[in-house]
Structure formats: C-alpha cells, structure tokens
Amino acid sequence: MIRLYGLLFVLDLLLLVVALIDCVSADEGEVRHLPKIVWVLLILLFSPVGAIVWFVAGRPRRSGAARPGTWRPGAGFPEAQRPRRPVAPDDDPAFLAGLGDRGGDRDSGREDRELLSRWEADLKRREEELRRREGETS
C-alpha cells in the first residue's frame, strides 16, 4: 500500500512540475481563460486537479495553422520572408553576368582580347630578341 501511495505521489509531483513549466513558458497572450499568474496559483494550490485543468482549459492551442501574419519561434519562415544570407560576388550569377558589361560597355570583352593579343605579341617579340642575343654571344 505504501508503494502505491509513493507512486501516486511521484506521479502527482511529475504532473505538477510539467504543468508548471508549461504554464510559465507559455506566452501571456496565448493563455486561455485566465491570466497566467492565476493558472500558476491554481496549479500549485490545487494539485493534481489544477494541473489537469491547465492542460484541458488553459493551455494555448498548439494547432498547425497559426494566425496569418504571426511568426512563432521554431515555426519556420514563409518562403517570401526567409532571411537571405549575403552572397559572395563569385557566387552571384547576376554579378557574374554583369562583369562583361562594365557599366554598359558591350565591347569590353573585345578590348580585353585585343589587349591580351598585344601582350602575347610583345612577349613573342621579346623572346625572339632574347634568342638572337643568346645566339650572338655563343
């Protein structure tokens, strides 16, 4: 018989603690029927009936569909409101596509190719001069 009373005491204490934590962690505006402080007093003074009544009548509704326009932590973001991480320029397709334009100049790619060909021609000319000098000294 003592074991049964001990088990009931532990269950009552567990129910009291869980209901109290749930009540204290609930948002004040979402608690139903009574102010939160009254629910805390009911849970503490009228155990286990207060805890059971809290779970039945006072606990905020945990429905999947929240009111439109409200955001709860842990509920995720609507896709349109999802915060975006800044994208590095080399990962941004719009930035990479605009590199060829350079402020509206459409011929910048052609100018770059001409500059590269001039550098290559200059490099070939210098290599030939170096070979001639080496051939003269040998």
38 touches 14 (CB < 8 A): no
Name the more confident of 101 and 38. 38
For residue 32, what pLDDT is reported?
82
- pLDDT tens sequence across 65-85: 555 556 566 566 666 676 677
Q: How confident is the model at residue 131 (pLDDT cuts 50, 70, 90)?
A: very high
**Count of C-beta atoms within a 10 Å radius of residue 16:** 16
- pLDDT tens sequence across 10-63: 999 999 999 898 888 888 777 888 888 888 898 899 888 888 888 888 877 765
Q: Residue 33 — left, alpha, or beta (φ > 0 → left; ψ -120 to 50 → alpha)?
A: left
Structural domain spans, the chain: 2-59, 110-138
d(CA 77, CA 55) in angstroms, rounded, equals 28
For residue 54, what pLDDT is reported?
83
Question: Can you read off the two tokens belonging to residue 137?
Answer: 């000294």
